[in-house]
Amino acid sequence: MKLTGLAVALGFLLAPLALAGSAGAVDIQRVVSPKGIEAWLVEERTVPVIAVSFAFEGGSAQDPEGKAGVANLLSGLLDEGAGPLDSRAFQTALDDYSIGLSFDASRDTFSGSLRTLSAHRDEAVRLARLALTEPRFDQEPVERIRSQIITGIRAGERDPGEIASRAMMEAVFGGHPYAAPSEGTPESVAAITADDLDAYRNKILARDNLKVAVVGDINAAELGPMLDRIFGDLPVKANRVGIADVAPREAKSIDVPMAIPQAIIQVAGNGLKRDDPDFITASVASYILGGGGFSSRLYEEIREKRGLAYSVWLGLIPLDHAGLWFVSTSTRADQAGTVVALIEDEVRRFAEEGPTEAELAEAKAYLIGSYPLRFDTSGAIANQLLAIQLEDLGIDYIDERNDLIAAVTIDDIRRVSKRLFGGDSRVVVRVGAPET
């Protein structure tokens, strides 16, 4: 992912917005363009900035077999020349008008971000349209970005955290598209052609799998035509390959020897997808167990009581076709076995007993009170609205979310904790020097 053209505009884009004092104060309008492109709009006139976040459902899971990394390479190339503008001319235009245009690929989405001063809206729209509909894929930028990606992959092959993550995804999802690294491998990236990039773009970048969120100095009447100018020339329908749902595999432990003083530890188990009715309760449970920083159960047992790790974190990872709960920490290599045992014991105990009433009350207070902090800038609001659309939570979710958290009871938490953390089907990955 690259972000360019923000030398002047960055100060405006990060300015706090008056509307973000509370999440519930965000007034969201549903706008449909003449060509039927839908967007959620928050009109905000206090700063002369427009922030657009958009995503196409698909992501690296749609990479062709044997060509892992196509979506990632495409995300680095869409602003490297389009239409009549070669790479240098396109980048110069972004800089001259202080326009931020970037693209990114996750496992489930291909996303983009457009940030511009209101005065430069027309130029920002023109460049975004060109990037999406007329990318050039000239040899020089293709080879330059390809080389950067391969260099990054090679560096990751020596990074213990990256090694652990790749081993975990393979162990959990082996044989499924999620197991393939989103950035690809040196061999797969080297084999990607301009035709592969164009084929992916035509398959995924379409209007029927597009979600858009817009925040800033623009009204609904102006936004409709703008949506058509940016996205209206895209294909009407995407041509995605069907992806099967997948559950993590059987329990296993993987040790990757590496001569480093610290052992990287990751633990994962079967979680919940975002559309599961228990997801909100599960998110509260995971916060109490390992997501609450200094106040979490795992932090208390591993850091505070024993000083075995600087930090330890547990969270939920909801994907379109799978869900995980995931723990990450590091410790001295000769203590790795002790830390793994503590994680597994605490997870098992939480599944059996759940939290206390005091822990639940503290977690709910934090999760409710901190929610407005996600809406403090135009870009942050646009990203939140986009995430809500992608998760199909409904346009009223911002108003309902805190009530859903507040309604979680101790019985809910105990029931869902048994469902989420019970059983022994966990994958443990350790990267570091073997214990002696």
**Separation of alpha carbons 105 and 113, rounded Å:** 12
Superfamily of domain 10-231: Metalloenzyme, LuxS/M16 peptidase-like (3.30.830.10)
CA distance linking residue 390 with residue 55, whole number of Å: 8
Which residue's entry shows tokens 């940030």?
Answer: 115
Same fold across 10-231 and 252-432 = yes
Query: Helix 87-96 crosses helix 121-133 at what angle (to 10 degrees)?
Result: 150
- In which residue are the tokens 């999440």 written? 23
- What is the C-alpha separation between 101 and 54, in angstroms, rounded? 11
Mean pLDDT score across all residues of the chain: 92
Model pLDDT for residues 232-254, shown as the tens digit of each residue: 999 999 999 999 999 877 788 99
pLDDT in tens, 26-37: 899 999 999 999
Give the predicted TM-score (pTM) of the model: 0.91
Render pLDDT for 132-166 as a digit per residue (tens, 0 to 9).
999 999 999 999 999 999 999 999 999 999 999 99
What is the model's pLDDT at position 18? 42
Distance, in Å, from the CA atom of 4 to the CA atom of 17, rounded to the nearest integer, reads 23
Distance (Å, rounded) from C-alpha 349 to C-alpha 313? Answer: 17
What's the rounded Cα separation, in Å, for the pair 45 and 395?
21
Residue 265 contacts residue 435 (beta carbons within 8 Å)? no
pLDDT value for 84: 97
Sign of CA dihedral 146, 151, 152, 157: positive
At residue 245, the 3 state secondary structure works out as coil
**Structural contact between residues 217 and 49, judged by C-beta atoms closer than 8 angstroms:** yes
Q: Name the architecture of domain 252-432.
A: 2-Layer Sandwich (3.30)
Domain boundaries, the chain: 10-231, 252-432
Judge whether residue 22 has pLDDT over 70: no
Task: Answer whether 230's CB lies under 8 Å from 125's CB.
Answer: yes
Q: Token pair 């000083």 is at which residue?
A: 307
Task: Give 241's DSSP letter.
Answer: P
* pLDDT given at position 345: 95
